[in-house]
Structure 1
Amino acid sequence: MIENPGFLFTLLAFVGVIGPLVFVHEMGHYLAGRWFGVKAEAFSIGFGREIAGFTDRRGTRWKFGWLPLGGYVRFAGDMSPASQPSAEWLSLPPEQRARTFQSKPVWQRAIIVAAGPAINFLLAILILGGFAYAYGVSRTPPVVGIVEPGSAAATAGLLPGDRLTALGGRGVDTFDDIAGFARLRPGERIEIVIDRGGASQTLAVTIGERRERDRFGNDYRIGRLGIGPAAPVREPIGLIEAPLIGVERTGEIVGMMVDTIGQIVTGRRSVDELGGPLRIAQVSGQQLSLGLPEFIGLIALISINLGFINLLPVPTLDGGHLLFYAIEAVRRRPVDPQVLEWAFRGGVAALLALMLLVTINDLGAFGLWRSLAGLIG
């Protein structure tokens, strides 16, 4: 087992992950806003009191806040959390009002808002595509080579030579698809479609469950079928194909996120597995201690998370804004300001509740509650 990195190392690694990703996200909003002629009054990395900054020749204040857990771009005329026109906005001179966010047509506002998550996905695609170009990609066929005695696969009747064609209603292209699908579904009963000797068969299997501990002592609950490939295949790819592999990998990760959320909502996975900033900081330090490729891979994963979460249709998030812009486009008039105000208040309350939950989970993962219980007992 490897010793966990120290506090300072972990803090620096966390800032090294969150800082650039927040910058990239907000830069997407900023560049799209500039493209459509919207003035940015402030560009902040971090929240709270400014600890350093400067003002450029366009009048934008670039600054760092003391709490590095996010950031924002404040566009001209952004006088309410819902970015709605107000009496103050209407009182602006016409030439100033034309450079505000609210003055733009709904399709331009939607692009400005969507540009943040989009650039997060683009960054992940470039990183994952770069890894594929550097290390090649696994294209091991989904053919069973080994069946572990007593495993879920053995109980279901899988045999060496079987080719898996579908898992739980999803098509299978490579052996990695099998491992990825099973890993997220410990204890679930699914149907497997196989090709055995040219004939299609359907088998029912309950995916096995196993606890694994990584090199830092972190415990994980994963699903396993208990099969191995006949012969691993890894192929090099060209520079043209690499971005396509990056898109494919990013889509797979987003699919896993959707699956995980569905499992939490339906009770098949515990909410205790949700992590927040403290756990991200811990993993950041651990991955950086393992090497630069592992750390860059984590950046790609967190970037996808950041883009995906911001697209959720929750007021205050980018996805919430996009939802209201879609309603505005269909109705051909903005949503009532009072409705927006209450929606955004609810969104803030929901996000605060989620932050509280994940912080409690993080502290529990660090053993705080067990230690307190021991002191009380």
Structure 2
Amino acid sequence: MTDQPGFLFTILAFLLVIGPLIFVHELGHYFAGRLCGVKADAFSIGFGREIMGYTDSRGTRWKLGWIPMGGYVKFAGDMNPASVPDPEWLNLPPEERAKTFQAKGVWQRFFIVAAGPITNFLVAIGIFMAFFAAYGQPRTPAVIAAVQEQGPAANAGLRIGDRVTAIEGRQVDTFDEMADIIRFRPNEKLRVDYVRDGRNATAWMTTGVDVERDRFGNEFRKGLIGVMSGQPLIEPVPLHQLPGAAVKQTFHIVRTMIDTLGQIISGRRSVKELGGPIKIAQVSGQQATLGWMNVVMLMALISINLGFINLLPIPMLDGGHLAFYLYEGVVRRPVPEKAMEWAFRSGLAVLLSFMIFVTLNDILSLDAFERLAGLIG
């Protein structure tokens, strides 16, 4: 029997996790726009009909939509929240036209759009800095203290005292970094570089697979090579090193996300591991039952995910707009209007298809159909 939180608790946890992250993402766009002299017509958390809101002294309508699945800033000169230009913006009086998004230079528009994902990364970096300042950082050396008999490492010739320096060409400094790389590569052949008695050496091994099940019934396939570390070492992080340590941690998570996505695309991991809003809500509720620290760390991970996904070069996402502006900045002319129109249509189709896919994936992972069939039977 699994220890699942209640439905209302899960929904509340989801809103408390995702709401602030959407807010700060859009706030990044908003403040970058203000810095560049662009007027914001609307700032919305959620889509659809307005539940509540107010208009500030700058003429921006701050509102809450009834579908809490995203948010947007609609700048002056935009026809819709996707920043599609309004054909009428050229007919505005010169003073008003100068405050529109479309009137700004290409690199100002690039900066405004990029500010959203960048803000998400900054939020995660800030969270990691706070945790490192309060609790220190794991610094256990990547030195093997025990080797499992007949395990992948033992069969490849690794011994106690060997210090692992890289896996698949990626440098590792701590045992935790080594374990993270291996964990996300079950049943894969890996190159492991190590040092023994001052000499560099290389071993090839195929990771084992361990299936873990947590208290909520979630199963995780993780890779292992059959080694253990010595005494765990947690070191305080000096104040001046906090930003660098937090940036490194954020970069490490982004690389892990890219690796995992590549494994899914190549078929080495199941597409069932892709999660959507329902999965995020489920995990939010589960982590909330474990304490506020788990919730904050989950927010850091989701914030990195939001930043990363929004930078993908797909029209309708920030990354798609950035690709258009990059093209415009390099060739000195905007993307042809017809090409942009078709790009937005195809981007919308891709996003809708993906959302439907991950939502069905979430429902199937919850065994909803099996439970429904059981009730009918």
d(CA) in 1 for partners of 2:80, 2:45? 20
* Ranges in structure 1 where 5+ consecutive residues have no aligned partner: none
2:74–2:83 CA contact under 8 A, matched in 1: no
- Tell me the equivalent position of 1:143: 143
Say whether residues 1:77 and 2:73 are aligned partners. no
Conserved in 2, the CA contact under 8 Å of 1:147 and 1:227?
yes
Q: Does 1:212 align with 2:212?
A: yes
1:19-74 CA-to-partner distances (Å, cap 9, x unmatched) read: 10000000000001011111100000001110010111111100000010100000
After superposition, the Cα gap between the structure-2 partners of 1:373 and 1:162, relative to the gap in structure 1 and judged at 3 Å, is farther
Task: State the distance in 1 between where 2:134 and 2:164 align.
Answer: 29
Describe the superposition over 1:246-304 as per-residue Cα deviations: whole angstroms up to 9, x where unpaired: 11110111111111111112111111110000010011011111001111000111000
Check if 1:264 corresponds to 2:264.
yes
Paired residue secondary structure (2:4): coil
Please state whether the residue corresponding to 2:68 is helix, strand or coil.
strand
Distance 2:243 2:198 in 1: 35
One-letter identity of the residue aligned with 1:308 = F
C-alpha distance in 2 between matches for 1:6 and 1:239: 41
Structure 2 counterpart of 1:236, one-letter code: P
Conserved 8 A contact 1:84-1:102: no
2:301 aligns with 301
Larger mean CA deviation between 147-156 and 280-289 belongs to 147-156
Letter in 2 for 1:266: S
Q: After TM superposition, where is structure 1 displaced by more than 6 Å over at least 4 residues in a row?
A: none
Aligned length: 377
Deviation at 1:230, TM superposition (A): 2.4
Residues 127-185 of structure 1 show CA distances to partners (whole Å, capped at 9, x for unaligned) of: 01110111111111111001122322222222111111221122221111110010110
Distance 2:266 2:296 in 1: 33
Code of the aligned partner of 2:173? D
Check conservation: 2:74, 2:80, Cα contact below 8 A: no
Distance 1:123 1:85 in 2: 30
Amino acid at match of 2:113: V
CA contact (8 A) 2:313 2:323 kept: yes
Return the offset for 1:371. Answer: 3.2
User: How far, CA to CA, are the matches of 1:84 and 1:107 in structure 2?
Assistant: 17
* Contact 1:81–1:344, Cα closer than 8 Å, also in 2: no
Conserved in 2, the CA contact under 8 Å of 1:49 and 1:65? yes
Contact 1:45–1:63 (Cα < 8 Å) also in 2: yes
Structure 1 residue 94: deviation in Å?
1.1
* Structure 2 counterparts to residues 1-377 of structure 1, below 5 A: 3-79=3-79, 83=83, 85-372=85-372
State the AA in 1 paired with 2:231. A
* Structure 1 residue 87, shift from structure 2 partner: 3.5
Equivalent position SS for 1:102: coil
Cα-Cα RMSD: 1.5
Residue 361 of structure 1 and its aligned partner are, at CA, apart by 1.0
Shift of 1:239: 2.3
Provide the TM-score with structure 1 as the length reference. Answer: 0.97
Query: Once the 2 structures are TM-superposed, how far is the Cα of residue 200 of structure 1 from its aligned partner?
Result: 2.1
Q: Is the 8 A contact 2:78 2:86 kept in 1?
A: no
Q: Which amino acid aligns with 2:236?
A: P
**Are the counterparts in 1 of residues 75 and 83 from structure 2 also a CA contact under 8 Å?**
no
Residues 229-253 of structure 1: CA deviation (Å, up to 9, x unaligned): 1232111112222222111110111
Describe the SS at the equivalent of 1:104.
coil
Q: Secondary structure at the match of 1:264?
A: helix
SS at match of 1:187: coil
1:3 counterpart SS class: coil
Identity of aligned residues (%): 59
Distance 1:238 1:209, change over 3 A: same
Residues 115 and 196 from structure 1, CA distance in 2 versus in 1: closer, same or farther, beyond 3 angstroms? same
Q: 1:5 to 1:44 in 2, by over 3 A?
A: same
**Contact 1:40/1:75 (CA < 8 Å) preserved in 2?**
yes
Report the 3-state secondary structure (helix = DSSP H, G, I; strand = E; otherwise coil) of the residue aligned with 1:158.
Answer: coil
> How far does residue 3 in structure 1 lie from its aligned partner after superposition?
1.4
Per-residue deviation at 1:202? 1.5
- Please say if residues 52 and 64 of structure 1, whose CA atoms lie closer than 8 Å, have aligned partners that are also in contact: yes
CA–CA separation in structure 2 for the residues paired with 1:278 and 1:93? 46
Return closer, same or farther for 1:22/1:80 CA change in 2, 3 Å cut-off: closer
Q: How far did 1:206 drift?
A: 0.2
Change (3 A) 1:96 1:292: same
Q: Distance in 1 between matches of 2:294 and 2:87?
A: 51
Q: Which amino acid aligns with 2:230?
A: A
- Tell me if structure 1 keeps the 8 A contact 2:72–2:81: no
Contact residue 27 and residue 116 of structure 2 kept, 8 A = yes
Change (3 A) 1:372 1:8: closer
* Stretch deviating more after TM superposition (147-156 or 57-66): 147-156
SS state of the match for residue 69, structure 2?
strand
TM-score, normalised via structure 2 length: 0.97
